[in-house]
Structure 1
Amino acid sequence: MQLLHSFLEKSRQQYPEKPLLFAKKWYTYREVDDAANALANFLIEKGVQRGDRVAFLLENGFEYVVTYYGVLKAGAVAVGLNTETTAETLDYLLQNSGARVFISDKNFKKHFKPIAGRLKKLLAFVLARPLSGFDYADIFSAIVETYPPERPSVRMINIDKAAIVYTSGSTGRPKGVTLTHLNVVTNTESIVAYLRLTAEDRMLVVLPFYYIYGLSLLNTHVAVGGSLVIENRFAFPNVALNSMEEHRVTGFAGVPSTFAILMAKTNIRERHFPVLRYVTQAGGAMAPTLQKEVARTIAPARLIIMYGATEASARLSYLDPDHLDSKWGSIGKAIPNVDLFVADEKGRALPAGERGEIVARGANIMQGYWRDKKETRMVLRDGLYFTGDLGVCDEDGFLFVVGRSKDMIKQGANRISAKEIEEKILEHENVLEVAVIGRPDDILGEAMDACVVLKRGDDNWQEELRSFVQGKLPPFKQPKYYSLFNSLPKNSSGKIMKTKIKEMKGLA
């Protein structure tokens, strides 16, 4: 039986002194596994039991990796949280997940200070570094140094819950995608197979581990005994390219905006990456023109286009690079051990060329949304996962995404509820109406455009509204564009017609 943390333990046995992780310095498989065991033993001593949730708000690094595997080894459920958060959201997520332990660092103090009262009621609150006013917190380094590095004895089976990964919901509240060990293990093994990963692979990681795509990079490379180089400075993209060269990475992964930035704001065309073997792209549709530019730039390394969802433990399909030139814009075909097809509303497969919803089945599909039966029933029906994406299949069996069935906007790598953003904007005293739509964007792929009607004229309305929203929402949920309307088009029942707005703006 394969459990998720078994990947780490097996690779540690095979490559104990091999570098696993570079995060300012190299950490070996033995060091990471020993530290994860120590944290697991600490959690168990504090009263954490099989199936309890442990939430953590950390940047990519040694502490994140150790926490992730330590939580799993304790038999608990790993709840990695988006670092672009607010105190209000953090409070909701801790409450919704029922977290018994919270692990964070002092650079997130503005988010957890307002909820200090809740933290005191947990079994434990752990900080990576000491922080004034939180003397009751346990310190990460002391735990790793004090508790035994032996593997704890916790009985588990592969259908036990392994992780809750929060993603935006249609109601605006984050939804907790519940994944078992089996879900993630089977997907990890499939990704390893089609990427042909080995212990010789070394990945540069710019994607956060709380994001399912980023987490899959960790799981897959640990599974084969590979290595990961953490690069948290992508705000300076040439620095990331320096790391690629310095550490001689064989792989790189990004979302569309990652590659738009690399192409537009770096000297990547002048660089040489002699050992780079492949580059993967997921997290939303990347324009074929950008795909072609990336493919030319990284050659002879190969570009692999992928498609997936948090609800699928990461991956559902990939486009074999051999077909890239003939199938630009396609998401390819299903990965091993997954069925993926275009279906009608009842889940019946549609013939080639006919538009429908992309649906999937496989051992990687989530158990449901945590404590949200209504949302679960909307996407899991008759043994199928309805992705919410509209697609078509060509005569050769290649899939193409043509739209989305829900009013969700995928700004960058984040699927965001328009309703949530609208509700926050409407809190401004001078906003009468608002409709948030998606519009094409060279950097983000799709960006939010907040179309507003004001109660009274104001020459500085845009600056004032942007500043207001910055105080209400994390950066990744803030609209890039603001448009002023005298009135918004509505149907006979008074519902705002977003399709009409797009037509008025020349987007339809």
Structure 2
Amino acid sequence: MYLLHTFLEKTRQKYPDKPALFSGRWYTYREIDEAANSLANYLRAKGVRRGDRVAFLLDNGFGYVVTYYGVLKAGAVAVGLNTETTADTLRYLLNNCGARVFISDKNFKKYLKPISPRIKRMDAFVLLRPMSDFPRADILSDILESHSTQPPQVRLINLDLAAIVYTSGSTGKPKGVTLSHLNIVTNTESIIAYLRLTPADRMLVVLPFYYIYGLSLLNTHIAVGGSLVIENRFAFPNVALNSMEEHEVTGFAGVPSTFAILLAKTNIRERRLPKLRYVTQAGGAMAPTLQKEVAQVLAPARLIIMYGATEASARLSYLAPEYLESKWGSIGKAIPNVDLFVADEKGRALPAGERGEIVARGANIMQGYWRDQKETKMVLRHGLYFTGDLGRMDEEGFIYVVGRSKDMIKQGANRISAKEIEEKILEHENVLEVAVIGRPDDILGEAIDACIVLKEQSETWQEELQDFIRKKLPPFKQPRHYSLFESLPKNSSGKIMKTKIKELKGLA
């Protein structure tokens, strides 16, 4: 029986001194496994037991990887948190998951200080580097020096929870997707199979590990004995390309905006990347025109289009590279050990060409949303996971996404609640009405467009509103577009008609 951290332990036995992770320097499998054991023993000494939640707010790096596997080895549930946050959101998440221990670093000081009373009520608080505001926090390096490097003896089964991964909900509050060891292990094995990963593979990681796509890169490469190169400087994309060349990576993964930036803001066309074997894209629809350019520029590396959801432990389908030119825009077919099809509202498969909701089943499908039976019942029904995406299947079984069934905006890798943004905008004293919609964007898939009716006209309304929203929402939830309306179209019951707004703006 495989548990999630068994991948690390088995690989450490095979390749103890092999470089596993580059983060400032190379760390071997032995170093990572022993450090994770030490942290696990510390957590056990602090009273952490099977099923307890340990939350962490960390950038990608050695500390993140050690924390993730250390929490799992202690029998606890790993709760990696989005680093694009606010103090209020962080407080809510710590309360919602009921974390007994919290692990972070001083570069998140602006979020940690405002909630220090909540943090100080934890059973333990661990920092990667000391902070004067938290003099009693335990420091990770001290923990690694003072606790045994032998694995703790903790009995688990693969139905036990391994992780809670938060994603935006239809109410605007983040939903905690609960994933068991079995969910993530089975999906990891399926991804390894269709990507044909081997110990020779080396992945350049620009996606955060708190994001399920990024986490899948970690799990798959640790499982096969490959290696990962952490690159947290993608704000300077040519630097990322330098890392790609220097470390001779064989794989690269990104969301649509990742590739749009590489094509528009780097000299990638002049680079030689002879070791690059494949690139993967997920996290939202990538326009076929962008797909074609990426495939052309990065050839002979193969472009693999993928589709999935946090609720599916990452992956549901992929489009094999040999079908790319004949099936532009398709998300492909189901990955191994997953059923994926287009269905009606009762989960009955629809004939080719008919539109319905994309549904899935498999051992990778989540247990449900943490402490949210209502939302769980909305998506897990008839023995299926209803993705919220509308789609159609062609005669050869290839699936195409054609729309979204919920009022959610998928901007880049994030599913964002329109309602949450609307509520924040309405807090501004000069906003009378607002409707937030998604509009097509070549880079992000969808971009947030806030349609505003003001109480009093102002020449500087947009600047004032942008400044206001910057204080209310994290960057990825802030509108990229603002439109001014005299009034918003409504139906007979007074409900704002977003479909009509899209028609007025030429988006329908």
Q: Under TM normalisation by the shorter chain, which class is it? A: over 0.9
The answer (yes or no) to whether the contact 2:60–2:232 under 8 Å persists in 1 is yes
Q: 1:197 corresponds to which residue? A: 197
The alpha carbon displacement at 1:448 in A equals 0.2
- Pick which of 83-92 and 119-128 moved more: 119-128
Q: How far does the alpha carbon of each residue in 1:5-38 deviate from its partner, in whole angstroms, 9 at most, with x for none?
A: 0000000000000011000111000000000000
The alpha carbon displacement at 1:109 in A equals 1.1
Map residues 222-237 of structure 1 onto 2, 5 A cutoff. 222-237=222-237
The alpha carbon displacement at 1:442 in A equals 2.2
Mapped to 1, the partners of 2:162 and 2:409 lie a distance apart of: 28
Q: 1:11 corresponds to which residue? A: 11
Q: 2:401 corresponds to which residue? A: 401
Give SS of 1:114's match: helix
Q: Is it true that 1:169 corresponds to 2:202 in the alignment? A: no
Q: How far does the alpha carbon of each residue in 1:43-71 deviate from its partner, in whole angstroms, 9 at most, with x for none?
A: 00000010000000000000000000000
Mapped to 2, the partners of 1:338 and 1:442 lie a distance apart of: 30
Q: 1:299 corresponds to which residue? A: 299
Give SS of 2:162's match: strand
Q: 2:368 corresponds to which residue? A: 368
Q: Is it true that 1:83 corresponds to 2:86 in the alignment? A: no
The alpha carbon displacement at 1:453 in A equals 0.4
Map residues 231-270 of structure 1 onto 2, 5 A cutoff. 231-270=231-270
Map residues 4-403 of structure 1 onto 2, 5 A cutoff. 4-403=4-403
Give SS of 1:234's match: coil
Q: 1:430 corresponds to which residue? A: 430
Give SS of 1:132's match: coil
Give SS of 1:239's match: helix
- What letter corresponds to residue 418 of structure 1 in structure 2? A
Give SS of 1:263's match: helix
Mapped to 1, the partners of 2:505 and 2:266 lie a distance apart of: 32
- What letter corresponds to residue 399 of structure 2 in structure 1? L
TM-score (norm 1): 1.00
Mapped to 1, the partners of 2:363 and 2:307 lie a distance apart of: 17
Q: 2:441 corresponds to which residue? A: 441
Mapped to 2, the partners of 1:500 and 1:32 lie a distance apart of: 55
Mapped to 2, the partners of 1:93 and 1:103 lie a distance apart of: 14
The alpha carbon displacement at 1:351 in A equals 0.3
Q: How far does the alpha carbon of each residue in 1:328-375 deviate from its partner, in whole angstroms, 9 at most, with x for none?
A: 000000000000000000000000000000000000000000000000
Mapped to 2, the partners of 1:21 and 1:475 lie a distance apart of: 29
Give SS of 1:507's match: coil
Mapped to 2, the partners of 1:98 and 1:304 lie a distance apart of: 38
The alpha carbon displacement at 1:120 in A equals 1.3
- What letter corresponds to residue 110 of structure 1 in structure 2? K
Mapped to 1, the partners of 2:20 and 2:493 lie a distance apart of: 59
Mapped to 1, the partners of 2:248 and 2:6 lie a distance apart of: 27
Mapped to 1, the partners of 2:99 and 2:48 lie a distance apart of: 10
- What letter corresponds to residue 342 of structure 2 in structure 1? V
Q: 2:502 corresponds to which residue? A: 502
Mapped to 1, the partners of 2:47 and 2:55 lie a distance apart of: 15
Mapped to 1, the partners of 2:373 and 2:382 lie a distance apart of: 15
Mapped to 1, the partners of 2:14 and 2:488 lie a distance apart of: 63
- What letter corresponds to residue 489 of structure 2 in structure 1? P
Q: 2:453 corresponds to which residue? A: 453
The alpha carbon displacement at 1:140 in A equals 0.7
Q: How far does the alpha carbon of each residue in 1:372-399 deviate from its partner, in whole angstroms, 9 at most, with x for none?
A: 0000000000210000000000000000
Q: How far does the alpha carbon of each residue in 1:243-279 deviate from its partner, in whole angstroms, 9 at most, with x for none?
A: 0000000000000000111111111111110010000
Give SS of 2:136's match: coil
- What letter corresponds to residue 167 of structure 1 in structure 2? T
Mapped to 1, the partners of 2:230 and 2:273 lie a distance apart of: 18
The answer (yes or no) to whether the contact 2:286–2:442 under 8 Å persists in 1 is no
- What letter corresponds to residue 297 of structure 2 in structure 1? T
Mapped to 1, the partners of 2:245 and 2:22 lie a distance apart of: 14
- Pick which of 95-104 and 441-450 moved more: 441-450
Give SS of 1:347's match: coil
Mapped to 2, the partners of 1:304 and 1:48 lie a distance apart of: 40
The alpha carbon displacement at 1:167 in A equals 0.1
Mapped to 1, the partners of 2:111 and 2:361 lie a distance apart of: 38
Gaps of 5+ in 1: none
The alpha carbon displacement at 1:443 in A equals 2.0
Map residues 467-506 of structure 1 onto 2, 5 A cutoff. 467-506=467-506
Mapped to 2, the partners of 1:496 and 1:354 lie a distance apart of: 29
Map residues 415-426 of structure 1 onto 2, 5 A cutoff. 415-426=415-426
Mapped to 2, the partners of 1:275 and 1:232 lie a distance apart of: 21
The alpha carbon displacement at 1:119 in A equals 1.1
The alpha carbon displacement at 1:118 in A equals 1.1
Return structure 1 stretches of 4+ with deviation > 3 angstroms: none
Mapped to 2, the partners of 1:121 and 1:471 lie a distance apart of: 27
The alpha carbon displacement at 1:114 in A equals 1.1
The alpha carbon displacement at 1:136 in A equals 1.1
TM-score (norm 2): 1.00
Mapped to 1, the partners of 2:164 and 2:503 lie a distance apart of: 39
Mapped to 1, the partners of 2:475 and 2:245 lie a distance apart of: 30
The alpha carbon displacement at 1:146 in A equals 1.1
Mapped to 2, the partners of 1:80 and 1:212 lie a distance apart of: 10
Mapped to 2, the partners of 1:304 and 1:370 lie a distance apart of: 32
Q: How far does the alpha carbon of each residue in 1:307-343 deviate from its partner, in whole angstroms, 9 at most, with x for none?
A: 0000000000000101111000000000000000000
Mapped to 1, the partners of 2:373 and 2:257 lie a distance apart of: 33
The alpha carbon displacement at 1:441 in A equals 1.4
- What letter corresponds to residue 148 of structure 2 in structure 1? P
- What letter corresponds to residue 242 of structure 1 in structure 2? N
Mapped to 2, the partners of 1:130 and 1:346 lie a distance apart of: 54
What RMSD in Å do the two structures reach over aligned CA positions? 0.5
Mapped to 2, the partners of 1:59 and 1:194 lie a distance apart of: 29
The alpha carbon displacement at 1:110 in A equals 0.9
